Structure formats: C-alpha cells, structure tokens
Amino acid sequence: MIGGIIVPYKTYPYPWNHYIAQGIYLQWMAYVLASGYLLRPVILKFFSRKAPLPATEKFLLLTWFSNCFIFFVYLMALTGWVKGIYLSGAISFSFFLYLTIFFYFYNRKVDNILLSGATENPVRTEKKKIATADANTLMEKLEKVIRDKELYKDPNLKLSDLAAQINITPHLLSQLLNENAGKGFSIYINEWRIEEACSLIRENDRLTFEAIGYEVGFNSKSTFYAAFKKIKDTTPALFKESLGSPTT
C-alpha cells in the first residue's frame, strides 16, 4: 500500500510491470514453497495413504493447495500464458475461501454449536472418539516434541501452546489427553516435571528442592511440593531419603 502511494502505477507503469510485480510474485512463491516444506510430513502422509489424516491436517492441506492453485492462476496471467485470466484468479480465490470456511465449520460441527443454546434442553451428541491410529500418531508426536524441546520447563506453558507444537486445536489436544492418557493437561505436564525433578534429585546433591522445582517448570515451591505429593504420593525429602541420600 505504501509502495503504491510512493510509486503509483498510473505514473510509473514500467517499473510496476517489469520489476515490482515480479518481486511480489517471487515473495508469494517463497511463502508457498516454505509452507509446503513445513507441511511435507502431512503431504507425504496424504499421498502414502498409510493412515487417514486427522481433520486438522486435512484443513492445512486444503488451505495450502488452495494457495498453490490461486498462485498458479495469477502466475499464468503475469507470464502471459493465458490472456485475461486475472478474473479467474479472483474467482478461484472466492471459491477456495468459501470451501475452506465450509470445511472448517463442518468439522467443528457448527450445527451442534448453534443448537447448544437454542432450547432449554439442548440436544447432546456423543463426542466422536479419535481413531486409534491417529491417536497413537499424535501421542508419539506430542511426547517427542515435549521431550526434545523440554517444553514442560516453561512455567507459562498453556494448552494452546502445546497444541500449536503438533498442529492441532487445543480442543483436540484436550480430548486426546483425556481419552488416551486418561488425564488433563495440567496433570500430564506436571508428571513430566516431576519425573525430571526425580532425575535431578538422584543425580544432583547440590540443588535444593526449591531450586529443582523452579528448574523443572514450577513457579513456586508450594506448587512443586503439592504436585510431587499428588503424583509420587510422597514428599521430595522422603523420596531422596529412600534413595539413601541426605535431604536438603
């Protein structure tokens, strides 16, 4: 927009037609290729057809493919391969926009959302269980990203942050944990933290329990002690004593 004000097309058509437009399309192509590179596991999974794609991955593929198609249509107009195709680009954009919106709301079961507050006794439908193959794949991805990046050490880690790491919605992650791990987000993350705390207690005699709590992601000593007691059914001091080490 700023470029159009400084260098208006009406006054400077030559640089727009020969340089600026090409630069814009190169940047667009770079974003499309970069997105495809990031989505390569999903793309390979789609073409291999070894396992059905979750709705989230289907949505990402649809969005990426739509951008590829729209870019290709506009590119044909820029290069002159097909005359007068700019209108087709706009039509393609509108078509894929509405298709993507429909796909999103269809998978979010928007009809049930609208019905939930429409009557005094809303219709309750059974929540669809995540397919076993999809659940196992997502749990493996979840455990790997938590372990590799040590995400549990972030005291401000939220459900939405963790869901973004494996490209699923917070709602789906919550369902995944409840159905396949049998626990909520807080307990799941605290178990990772407590396991790390136990390792530090075994391996490091110099750290105090309070320091260990902060190191593994708790934001207070009391929260660390409460979580340790709930998960291990003992205190950090008694746990260390059971190892035959003096308490700190």
Q: Which single residue is written with the structure tokens 């919605």?
A: 169
Q: Give CA–CA dist 78/170, Å, rounded.
A: 41
132-242 is a CATH 1.10.10.60 domain: yes
Predicted local confidence at residue 212, as pLDDT = 93
pLDDT at residue 158, rounded to an integer: 92
Give the mean pLDDT of 135-157.
Answer: 93
Residue 124: band (very low, low, confident or very high) from pLDDT cuts 50, 70, 90: very low
Q: What is the 3-state secondary structure (H, E, C) of 182-221?
A: CCCHHHHHHHHHHHHHHHHHHHCCCCCHHHHHHHHCCCCH
**Where are the CATH 1.10.10.60 domain residues in the chain?**
132-242
pLDDT at 123: 44
Asked if 193 contacts 216 with a C-beta cutoff of 8 angstroms, the reply is: yes
Residue type, 241: E
Confidence label for 110 from pLDDT (cuts 50, 70 and 90): very low
Q: Predicted confidence band at 35 (pLDDT cuts at 50, 70, 90)?
A: confident
Global pTM reads 0.49
Mean local confidence (pLDDT), 104-127: 46
Q: Under a CB-based contact definition with an 8 Å cutoff, are residues 200 and 206 in contact?
A: no
**Average pLDDT for residues 127-148, to the nearest whole number?**
89
Describe the chain by its helix, strand, coil percentages, rounded to 5: 70, 0, 30
What's the pLDDT tens digit per position in 46-98?
A: 777 655 666 677 767 777 777 777 677 776 766 665 555 555 555 555 665 65
What pLDDT score was predicted for residue 174? 92
Rounded CA-CA distance 210/218 in Å is 9
Cβ-contact 216, 200 below 8 angstroms: yes
Instruction: Please say if the pLDDT value at position 126 is more than 60.
Output: no
Q: Which range (16-20, 64-68, 137-141, 198-202) has the least confidence?
A: 16-20
CA 192 vs. chain centroid, Å, equals 20
